[in-house]
Amino acid sequence: MENHIAPVPLDKAYRLLNHGPTVLVSARAGGTDNVMAAAWACALDYAPPKLTVVLDKIAKTRELVEKSGRLAIQVPTVAQLDLTYKVGHRSLFDEPDKLERSGVTLFDMEGHDLPFVAGCSAWLACSVIAEPSNEQTYDLFIAEIKAAWSDTRVFKNGHWNFETADPGLRSLHYIAGGRFYAIGESLDATEGKSQ
Amino acid sequence: MENHIAPVPLDKAYRLLNHGPTVLVSARAGGTDNVMAAAWACALDYAPPKLTVVLDKIAKTRELVEKSGRLAIQVPTVAQLDLTYKVGHRSLFDEPDKLERSGVTLFDMEGHDLPFVAGCSAWLACSVIAEPSNEQTYDLFIAEIKAAWSDTRVFKNGHWNFETADPGLRSLHYIAGGRFYAIGESLDATEGKSQ
């Protein structure tokens, strides 16, 4: 799987999130790794690329993000439907073996001390921009994207190719109660032109 | 069209945005109405429901939001593909007849002095929670959702029904260069249960 991973230029990194996928958030601190799901993650800026993500105070992953100042954001796939639901509804506080039981395999990216989730379609290595008031009042974290990668079978040369890739590589968009939607067909506005 | 509009309970309002659609942002101040598109809008909280939206300093709509303290967020549909692209790529500063030229029809919701865009699948009336530092530093606005409505042909009883509704009512998810994706098929996690 990891043979298909290639870097995404930072000026194209926002495109990995622009269509609003549910993401996986992972973090590492003090020898502990964790992964959670988040529907509330969003691009915030192009250059340097930034994003927002909402991390509830009850989440173990938030504790690791606060300790390390770093997090990885990943775009999970249709093939990871149950994994995404499980890491979003189990807590490392209650289940120390949460990751194994959720089917998560972690891997490393050279130069980034973060736990990346295998099998996703995109990965973003981020550093938190400390905004304590946002974090305390709204559970809202702002982070700068320091590096990005994609699975080239579905995102290549700055473009998603959901319409031609394996349907199992489509992004997930969570609603509630275990119900997700996969991303669907591509549509081009009449006045647009692909960049 | 407007015959199909019904209120959405505030505790379900986050579901209108949870799958990450590109939205239309509209605002009214001093006798001027405007509408823009935003891919960077995201749910922020359940109760009271809040959202974030990124409004660039060059946007006329931002000026109206800053003057009035209010904005409407709407979920446009596949049938509104060109409208969504056009309001996102034309400025009221340059084109005073931008809304007419983009095919926008506005309508009123009783009790809310905001310009709502006809033909969308969902509408959220919001009040800005003033956070000047976020607004200046990041162009990031936080707003509380005060009321919400949906087109019941595609969102009813707290649930999206994209899989059974007219495909023209599906949500749009923007990438870049005029390329959007429609939301696709529904998927239920094995351990989930519809709420």
* Among A138, A173, A187, beta carbon nearest to B78: A187
Interface of A with B in 85-144 (CB under 8 A): 85-86, 89, 131, 133-134, 138-140, 142
Q: Which residue of A has its CA nearest to B142?
A: A138
Q: For residue A169, tell me if it sits in a domain.
A: yes
Residues B187, A193: C-beta atoms closer than 8 Å: no
Q: pLDDT band for A4, please (50, 70, 90 cuts).
A: very high
Q: Identify the helix (H) or strand (E) that includes residue A138.
A: helix A132-138
Q: For residue A190, tell me if it sits in a domain.
A: no
* Among B54, B180, B185, beta carbon nearest to A187: B180
What pLDDT does residue B112 have? 97
What pLDDT does residue B71 have? 98
| Per-residue pLDDT at A194 exceeds 80 | no
The dihedrals phi and psi of A144, each to the nearest 5 degrees, come to: -95, 135
CA distance B18 to chain A (A): 5
Residues B187, A184: C-beta atoms closer than 8 Å: no
Backbone angle region of A34, left / alpha / beta, with phi > 0 → left and psi within -120 to 50 → alpha: beta
Neighbours of A146 (CB within 10 A): 17
Find all residues with CB under 8 Å of A79, minimum gap 6, and list them.
A119, A168, A169
Which of B40, B51, B80, B156 is the best mutation test for A, with the most CBs of A within 10 A? Answer: B40
Whether chain A has a CB inside 8 Å of the CB on B173: the answer is yes
Q: For residue B189, tell me if it sits in a domain.
A: no
Which of A187, A190, A191, A195 is the best mutation test for B, with the most CBs of B within 10 A? Answer: A187
Q: pLDDT for A40-66, tens place per residue?
A: 999 999 999 999 999 999 999 999 999
Find all residues with CB under 8 Å of A29, minimum gap 6, and list them.
A63, A64, A65, A67, A68
| Per-residue pLDDT at A175 exceeds 70 | yes
Q: For residue B155, tell me if it sits in a domain.
A: yes
Interatomic CA distance for residues A56 and A38, integer angstroms = 10
Interatomic CA distance for residues A153 and A169, integer angstroms = 8
Collect all residues of chain A within an 8 Å Cβ-Cβ radius of residue B185: 181-182, 184
Cα-Cα-Cα-Cα dihedral sign, residues B72, B76, B80, B83: positive
Query: Strands, DSSP E only, in chain A?
Result: 5-7, 23-29, 32-38, 41-46, 49-54, 70-75, 106-109, 112-117, 122-129, 140-151, 155-156, 159-160, 172-176, 179-188
CA distance A31 to chain B (A): 29
CA neighbor of A42 nearest in space, from A27, A28, A25: A25
Tokens coding A63: 């504790």
Q: For residue A57, tell me if it sits in a domain.
A: yes
Question: What's the total number of domains in chain A?
Answer: 1
Q: For residue A188, tell me if it sits in a domain.
A: no
Could you list the mean pLDDT of each consecutive 10-residue stretch along chain B, which spans 195 residues?
A: 87 98 98 97 98 97 98 98 95 91 96 97 98 98 98 98 98 98 97 67
Q: For residue B187, tell me if it sits in a domain.
A: no
The dihedrals phi and psi of A182, each to the nearest 5 degrees, come to: -80, 155
CA neighbor of B7 nearest in space, from B119, B115, B110, B142: B110
**Whole-angstrom Cα Rg for chain A:** 16
Whether chain A has a CB inside 8 Å of the CB on B178: the answer is yes
Q: For residue B125, tell me if it sits in a domain.
A: yes
Whether chain B has a CB inside 8 Å of the CB on A188: the answer is yes
Find all residues with CB under 8 Å of A69, minimum gap 6, and list them.
A127, A128, A130
For residue B161, give the DSSP letter: -
Interatomic CA distance for residues A77 and A176, integer angstroms = 17
CATH for A155 = 2.30.110.10
**Which domain covers residue A57, as residue numbers?**
2-182
ipTM value: 0.96
Burial class, B188, CB count within 10 angstroms (exposed 0-12 / middle 13-18 / buried 19+): middle
Q: pLDDT for B63-99, tens place per residue?
A: 999 999 999 999 999 999 999 999 999 988 899 999 9
* Among A15, A20, A41, beta carbon nearest to B21: A20
The dihedrals phi and psi of A15, each to the nearest 5 degrees, come to: -65, -20
Q: pLDDT for A55-114, tens place per residue?
A: 999 999 999 999 999 999 999 999 999 999 999 999 888 999 999 999 999 999 999 999
Higher local confidence (pLDDT), A146 or A194: A146
Mean pLDDT score across all residues of chain A: 96
CA neighbor of B171 nearest in space, from B90, B89, B80: B80
For residue A154, give the DSSP letter: T
* Among B21, B81, B191, beta carbon nearest to A178: B191
